[in-house]
Chain A
Amino acid sequence: MGLPLAFLAPWALAGLVVLPLVWLIVRITPPRPQRIPFPPFRLMRDLAPKDETPARTPPWLIALRLAIAALAVLAMAGPIWNPPPAGVGAGPLLVLMDDGWPTASSWDKRVAYAAGAMEGAARRGAPVAFAAASTPRALALSDAAAALEQLRALKPQAYLPQRAALLDQARAFLGQHKDAHVLWLADGLEANGARDFATALANAAGGLDIVTDDRAPRALAGAQNEAGALSVRVLRMGPGGAQHGVVRAYDRKGLSLADAPFDFGAANETKARIELPVELRNEVSRLDIAGERSAGAVSLIDDRWKRRTVGVVSGASADVSQPLLAPNYYVVKAIAPFADVRQPRIDAVDPIGQLLDDHVNVLVLADLGLAPGETRERLEKYLQDGGVIVRFAGTRLAASDDDLTPVRLRRGGRVLGGALSWETPKKLAPFDKASPFFGLATPDEATVSRQVLAEPEPGLPSRTWAQLADSTPLVTAERRGRGLLVLFHMTADTTWSNLPLSGLFPEMLRRIVDMAGQNVAAPDALSGAGEESRARAQTLAPQKLLDGFGALGSPSATAKPIAADYAGAGDAAHPPGYYGAPDALMAVNALAPDATLTSADFSGLKAQRLALEAAEPIDLRAPLLALAFALFVIDAFASLWLGGALPRLSRRAATSAIVIACGALLLVAPRDAHAQKAPQAAPAQTQKAQPTRRDIEAALTTRLAYVVTGDARADAASKAGLETLSRVLAQRTSLQPGAPVGVDPARDELVFYPLIYWPIVASRPQPPREAALKIAAFMKQGGTVVFDTRDAQSARANGAATPEQRWLRQLLEGVDIPGLEPVPRDHVVTKTFYLIDEFYGRTTTGRTWIEALPPETPGEANRPARAGDGVSPIIIVSNDLAAAWASDANGEPMYPLEPGGARQRELALRGGVNLVMYTLTGNYKADQVHVRDLLQRLGH
């Protein structure tokens, strides 16, 4: 095939013929000689030049300059690496496209390739015909634009289309157009006779190009919910493509549950194991290969994959020393591979109740007589709710008067037992078609020597799932409510039969367990309602179907319902997806559980094989020009050096020149396309980063906080005031607050502070809206904000609002504020630590507003304190509390009070202590008032 190199302007290569001329010119024009001033010049003046021929240009310099010239010529010719495919011949072009799921992962490339081929044909003036494997129709020539339209409308399918119809159409077309050239974009899978298809095409067409993708698609098949893990087979067609990968499990809501890595190694198949607790595993509804966009890389999981929990209870006393004789030993062994077995604790008082509490899906009762009582009722309810009870007969069952059986049993010693009554132990009869065991082979060596007998009654045959060779029922079952009651007319151990030793036994149990939790559409299905109606009832309509890319969507119009026992891969009529009722979906996958991917073998065919990947053309002009430029720079330096100019440059200058040259080369060199795809971290995610150190400290120590207003005086007063208050709190109460902090409500996290003091400064601009929202959230979370309007002296009752009040109103606009009232005298905030009447600050005339208490009930009329349900989220004061609290390090007050006096300062501090205690203890003091009543009551 040669180099994948083409030239846009090949005639420009003619410029290469001037290279010898360049060589000649360069050769006879040597570099500038060294110029050396020489005072003894006159001594040599008559020194006749013996050899006038100048020094020849060094060969390497000639080579360098020739290379520059050649690169320039090549660049002018417009070289392209991996040129787009040039059409072959002048005849019409037939483009056939596979559009099954294997093509989905490289769909865009395939479409681009086909479009490129069609455009190439259009340039040649050749007509184009186009068809996809999933929608074969009569092929007709059209212009490229129409074909392109068809191509762009095409989407990959979730199944593997059959190519037979397409082949017929192609043959018909090629019969008419002998000179047509066929381009087949194959998915590379041998499935559905790819080689035969290619052979037929090659024979019919004038020329055939088969385009395959080197990156083989990967697929999932055969998901199995095993003990301990959900395993799935990961397949690939052959080496090529990613070697490693991750299988990801999603639940029904599309949330990712777990990842499982896989590595193909040298094989084409590997297993991924998703290890999850069984409850989570049962939630898995979809597995897919991360990063693989195709329906084949999706494995849908339905209820059939759910791993059931089976509780096993035995009537026999547990004999741990002889486990092989325990009645439940074989049952547990048989069930364990496909379900989780739960057994009651040995010392359990109510083993059945305990297992029912565990919500087991299936309850196995091995030789257990059930007396009427609470347990019996619970079992009945369990059955009604959809549980499955599997009972095994035995001496206890035979002896007890137990009617929790599917059929009435003969009782009172009418159990046929022992080898005496039968000459030989009986074998099993082949299973009936209606039986869920149908299809299982009955081994000859499995015999039954004893059994309990069913009372012959009308419904008996329809309830019989298995019978002996003499038609006596061995397994009977009955639906009760939504549940199922199954009785094995033999013991769970080997005393009555050796069936538990045979391979049939686990299979039978498996089928029974598989029925657990299935909401069977027709409850009377087991009651012999007829095969036809059952099949009709069991038809499941498509619910959600996969598209070719592996995304679930609404079903297409062509999708047909599936039978309830449909067990195959999806096809054109039944595309992969979910079928059935929304709460009992049945999954159909793109690949059968035992599917393998075989790559198609196209060797030896009269066809040209092309690679899809190679379709990316690279324009070599820029790199060539860059290289020429770099060589030119080198040439310039070399000329300088030969001319003797370079040594005069200092070493540093030379170094920096080389660095600059290299840097320029790097800049000019074409960037790798991936460099532009820098990983874009989700900024919002990363921003929610570590809590700050300040937050950590605030969370560790209770501390007061004030809002930094930006007004230096107010902030200084707040800081000093809260520091003093903290000191007073530490002295007088058991609270040891940390140093108060200033917060910015718009920026800081507020949740750590029980109380935030916010002095209002009307001259400051309003904080941003987030601040009000955060304050609102803070109040909702149980924090308390004390707004101090500090306008007691300018405010007039019933007068116009002061600037501070207006500022506060504007701030709280839109914030959910409870109804406020002036602090009533019996409010708990006046009693939390000190008994106070008013909250004094720098002034004493201002009123304090607090969340309105619920109306007084008659019962608490003479209580000294009242409180609401919680702490008031907002307290508005106007007395400038912080200024009254504030004192310096020596305890000297910092601000003058009005009217003044040490008593007022003390009262202000007491008010502050009460506020803090109120926010921290809530209505506890209001409860304290009941103490006397409580003590009295206790005394009686």
Chain B
Amino acid sequence: MAARFLTEAERRAAPEGRQAALDLARRAPALIVAAKQIAASLVHGVHGRRRAGLGETFWQYRQFMSGEAAQRVDWRRSARDDRLYVREREWEAAHTVWIWMDLSPSMAFVSDLAQQSKVERALVLGLACADLLVRGGERVGLLGLTRARASRDIVEHLAEALLHARGADGDLPPAQPVGPRERCLLISDFLVAPDALAERLAALTGRGATGHLLTVADPIEESFPFSGHVEFLDSDSPQIMRAARAQDWRQAYAQRLATHRAAIAETARAHGLNVAMHRTDRPASEALLALRTRLEEAA
């Protein structure tokens, strides 16, 4: 079973150094294109608020009330009878969605069963979501990195921000509070202690935000297809664990993984976040479709 961490250059998707930034920039177009392609396969429309407000779609006519600015009178309608009417449009307000992609070393991993490394898949999904949401009229920002905005070139914008980001490769989302009725999308492998995650989620959702939590996993992390004499290397530390007969560990590992996933899911739900699962041997569009559905539901 072959698996590897991405090399230093490959894995610095959100790098600290300049060289790494350039390297990501070199790969960014490919990721951006992939993200846009996937996003284009899904259509997300601007959705009305079912009330009058700022918008483009006609909502109703109402009688002019004195004190209003005269320029708001709809003279065409008012010319029909003796009263003055004001034309109201439906309020079309954009949601704000904050996206966080885990760029930590543990994400920089690909096995030969996977189509893409976890970090690349996370980037593709995150950027594709951003594109999709902006085209749907929402505002999107990177959690802790950018402001939320709704420009057409959001993907490029976000990718650029990632390039310039520093110190963003922690394996936990930043503890930045998110405003009420805003949503957040957290993409990571969530191989972190549930307690630490709970602490951050509490900070994130303290003002009433909701959101989604997408776990990206490599297939061999789930199936544990090892046997014989195997040395396991850690991604974050130089530790080595030697298994004389790796096949003996499979059972215990599967149990641990299930427990961990359950703990993460529990933590997320406790803070009002949905939990979804994506494996890198599946196509990215599959995860994106699921994400979109959930985002719409939440809306």
Task: Give the B-binding residues of A (Cβ under 8 A).
Answer: 30, 33-45, 47, 49-55, 644, 647-648
Contact = CB atoms under 8 A, between A and B. Distances in A.
B232 interface: yes
Contacts of A33: 228-231, 242
B111 to A, nearest CB: 9
Contacts of A648: 2
B242 A49 contact: yes
Contacts of B228: 33-34, 55
B257 interface: yes
Contact of A37 (B3, B107, B248): B3
B62 interface: no
A45 B252 CA distance: 12
B59 interface: no
Contact of A41 (B4, B232, B248): B232
Nearest to A42: B191
Given A34-B231, A45-B241, A52-B244, A39 B221 contact: yes
Given A42-B234, A44-B232, A47-B256, A37 B191 contact: no
Interface string B232-250: 1111100101111100110
B233 A41 contact: yes
Interface in B234-279: 234-236, 239, 241-245, 248-249, 252-253, 256-257, 260
A34 B191 contact: no
B205 interface: no
Contact of A44 (B106, B236, B241): B241
Chain B contact residues, majority secondary structure: mixed
Looking at A35, A41, A55, the one whose CB has the most chain B CB atoms below 10 A away is A41
B233 A38 contact: yes
B1 to A, nearest CB: 7
Given A38-B233, A39-B118, 19 more contacts: A33-B228, A33-B229, A36-B226, A36-B232, A37-B4, A37-B233, A38-B221, A39-B235, A40-B257, A41-B233, A43-B256, A43-B257, A44-B249, A44-B256, A47-B241, A54-B242, A54-B244, A55-B244, A644-B2
A774 to B, nearest CB: 73
A846 B244 CA distance: 108
A703 B195 CA distance: 108
A51 B245 CA distance: 8
A52 B4 CA distance: 25
B189 A39 contact: yes
B109 interface: yes
A51 B244 contact: yes
B218 interface: yes
B244 A34 contact: no
A39 B221 CA distance: 8
Interface in B187-235: 189, 191, 218, 221, 226, 228-235
Nearest to B192: A42
B5 interface: yes
10 contacts: A33-B231, A34-B230, A37-B3, A37-B4, A38-B3, A39-B106, A41-B241, A42-B234, A44-B249, A47-B253
Contacts of A51: 244-245, 248
A44 B249 CA distance: 9
A43 B248 contact: no
A52 to B, nearest CB: 6
A44 B252 CA distance: 8
Interface of B: 1-5, 106-107, 109, 118, 189, 191, 218, 221, 226, 228-236, 239, 241-245, 248-249, 252-253, 256-257, 260
B234 A41 contact: yes
Determine the main DSSP class of A at the interface with B.
loop
A44 B226 CA distance: 14
A49 B1 CA distance: 21
A647 B249 contact: no
B191 A43 contact: yes
A45 B260 CA distance: 13
Contact of B109 (A34, A37, A53, A644): A37
Contacts of A40: 191, 221, 253, 257
A50 B248 contact: yes
Contact of B244 (A35, A36, A49): A49
The 6 residue pairs across chains A and B that have the minimum distance between CB atoms:
A33-B229, A41-B234, A55-B229, A39-B106, A37-B233, A38-B232
A37 B118 CA distance: 14
B192 to A, nearest CB: 9
B230 A36 contact: yes
A385 to B, nearest CB: 104
Contacts of B253: 40, 43-44, 47
Question: Considering residues A40, A43, A55, which has the most beta carbons from chain B within 10 angstroms of its beta carbon?
Answer: A40
Nearest to A647: B2
Contacts of A38: 3, 221, 232-235
B197 to A, nearest CB: 13
Given A39-B106, A44-B256, A45-B241, A34 B229 contact: yes
Contacts of B244: 49, 51-55
Given A33-B230, A44-B253, A54-B244, A39 B218 contact: yes
A220 B230 CA distance: 78
B181 to A, nearest CB: 35
B233 A36 contact: yes
Nearest to A55: B229
A30 B231 CA distance: 13
Nearest to B226: A36
A653 B201 CA distance: 50
Given A43-B253, A47-B249, A47-B253, A36 B242 contact: no
A221 B100 CA distance: 108
A39 B109 contact: yes
Nearest to A43: B256
Nearest to B237: A41
Best-surrounded residue of A35, A36, A50, A54 (most CB of chain B within 10 A): A36
A820 B4 CA distance: 97
A280 to B, nearest CB: 82
Nearest to B243: A49
Nearest to B118: A39
A41 B256 contact: no
A34 B228 CA distance: 8
Contacts of A47: 241, 249, 252-253, 256
A54 B4 contact: no
B259 to A, nearest CB: 9
B248 A36 contact: no
A433 to B, nearest CB: 107
B240 to A, nearest CB: 8
Contact of B231 (A36, A42, A50, A52): A36
B176 to A, nearest CB: 25
Nearest to B248: A50
A644 to B, nearest CB: 8
Contacts of A54: 229, 242, 244
A37 B235 contact: yes
A30 B1 CA distance: 19
B281 to A, nearest CB: 15
B237 to A, nearest CB: 8
A800 B146 CA distance: 105
B279 to A, nearest CB: 13
Contacts of A37: 3-5, 109, 232-235
